[in-house]
Amino acid sequence: MKNEEERESPQIKEEDEGLNLQIKEEDDLLVTEEYQVIIVKEEHEKPEPVHVALKQESELTPVNEEREKKTDSQESVSNHQLTHTGVRPFSCETCGKTFTIQRYLLCHIKTHSVENPYSCKICGNNFNLLSNFKRHLKIHSGERPYTCTTCGKSFIQHRHLKQHKVTHTGTGTFTCEKCGKAFAVRGHLLRHMKIHSGEKPHSCKLCGRTFSLSKTLNRHLKTHMEEKPHVCNTCGMSFIMPYELKRHEIIHTGVRHSCDTCGKTYAHHRNLVQHQKSHSD
């Protein structure tokens, strides 16, 4: 008898593989500059140069401080609200990736230019920011330090774990009317809905296979590479990505998740959740 995990819907598996990695915007740092100020102590003394470091721009213009704070605050709230609407009006002309905020797009565009001093020796991706490069390396190393205490799924970034936890609580989420899956961000729900609609705009130029998500296409492209360096020490199966090996190894641990209704067990919690929906249909 085939294992239940092998019959898992490829569409659901596609969605469960993980959350898209989004580019994190670096906070702008105010560069301290030195200005020479001439101070006259007494009329008979010569002017003496003194160097003063300007720490904050607001110290020079205290009259506009409150107005600037209000403007910055309103902009931050407006930008944050866009993450919940799912609207991503700024699109990259090179790869088609979309963003909620224009400066995120401008930061992303640099990844296509030659001004990317940080290059990944494993996959060839280039990065203009060291922080993005270090975060990317975790994909290859298999390092996923943030683990869900409910189902054991692990994530590279803490914000991804936080968004994932909402799928267990069901509170304050955007729920799919087709399958009942919940999402913390409306944009993730809209992306998920492509699985049910059958929309697959991302096509592989090597074999013509199409995908609903760009991240799934990127993962598929690696299947055209013969190298599968991550090998299971128990059964010898090999995998392209380290997290695929880690997920596979759970099968050998003997840990099972049991259905309270019929007693059927599964190695992966997500498969149990999918199964339990069959009792409610």
In a domain, 157, yes or no: no
Q: For the whole model, what pTM was predicted?
A: 0.32
Q: Render each residue's pLDDT in the chain as its tens digit; 281 residues.
A: 444 444 444 444 444 444 333 333 333 333 333 333 333 334 444 444 433 333 333 344 444 444 444 445 555 555 555 556 667 778 777 777 778 788 888 877 776 665 667 777 777 677 777 888 888 887 777 778 888 888 888 888 888 888 778 777 766 567 788 887 777 777 778 878 888 888 888 888 778 888 877 778 877 877 776 677 788 888 988 887 777 787 788 888 877 778 888 988 887 777 788 788 788 76
Q: What is the CATH number of the domain that holds 88?
A: 3.30.160
CA dist., res. 58 & res. 190, Å (int): 41
Q: What is the CATH number of the domain that holds 271?
A: 3.30.160.60
In a domain, 36, yes or no: no
Of the residues 94, 125, 141, the one at which a domain ends: 141
Of the residues 100, 115, 141, the one at which a domain ends: 141
In a domain, 238, yes or no: yes
Cβ–Cβ under 8 Å, residues 203 and 209: yes
In a domain, 136, yes or no: yes
- List residues bridging with 147 in a β-sheet: 154
**Joined tokens for residue 163:** 């968004």
Domain that residue 274 falls in? 227-281
Cβ–Cβ under 8 Å, residues 256 and 269: no
In a domain, 244, yes or no: yes
Secondary structure string (H, E, C) spanning the chain: CCCHHHHCCHHHHHHHCCCCCCCCCCCCCCCCCEEEEEECCCCCCCCEEEEEECCCHHHCCHHHHHHHHHHHHHHHHHHHHHHHHCCCCEECCCCCCEECCHHHHHHHHHHHCCCCCEECCCCCCEECCHHHHHHHHHHHHCCCCEECCCCCCEECCHHHHHHHHHHHHCCCCEECCCCCCEECCHHHHHHHHHHHHCCCCEECCCCCCEECCHHHHHHHHHHHCCCCCEECCCCCCEECCHHHHHHHHHHHHCCCEECCCCCCEECCHHHHHHHHHHHHC
Among 188, 14, 233, residue whose Cα is nearest residue 84 = 188
In a domain, 162, yes or no: no
In a domain, 152, yes or no: no
In a domain, 104, yes or no: yes
CA dist., res. 181 & res. 196, Å (int): 12
Of the residues 95, 114, 141, the one at which a domain ends: 141
Cβ–Cβ under 8 Å, residues 135 and 129: no
Structurally, the chain folds into a number of domains equal to 2
